[in-house]
Amino acid sequence: MRKLIVFVSLFLGVVAGVCGQSSAPVKGNFNGVWEYKAPEAPYEYSTGKFIFKEADGKPVVTVKLQSGTEIKAQNVKIENDSISFAVTIEYELVKVTGKLVGNKIAGKASYSQGVITVTAEKSVPKAN
């Protein structure tokens, strides 16, 4: 249980960092679904998705865990090629920060127990 809380916290921290809230719309480079990996996190949180979109002119980030659980990020900020946001998992605040490097996001998730490395790669739509 503690590993899960730690992973979720770190993951949310990374996601928060990537998807931070700003008055500017979500940049085209971030819009869409990103497959994330956090190898240091507990298995159930080690992979999932960051979903970036825009609502009412503001960036919105949703974290989708392997289980299918979706968590809406708070304090989403996007500035140039950097993102930040926060998510709460099992009463633990996880702050996520990241930077767009090529076609990938490199970042970290921070929580009360430490920091976890998080990477994400944009999903490619499947051809019909």
Q: What is the pLDDT of residues 2-53, one digit of tens each?
A: 654 545 444 544 444 444 433 344 455 789 999 999 999 888 889 999 999 9
- For 94, half-sphere exposure in the C-beta direction (CA atoms, 13 angstrom radius) is 35
User: Is residue 28 assigned to a domain?
Assistant: yes
Tell me, what CATH number does 63's domain have? Answer: 2.40.128.120
User: Is residue 89 assigned to a domain?
Assistant: yes
Q: Is residue 74 within 8 Å of residue 16, measured between CB atoms?
A: yes
Report the predicted TM-score, pTM, of the whole model to 2 decimal places. Answer: 0.75
User: Is residue 128 assigned to a domain?
Assistant: no
- Residue 59 in this model has a pLDDT that exceeds 90: yes
Residue 78 sits in which domain range?
2-122
Distance CA 70, CA 73 (A): 10
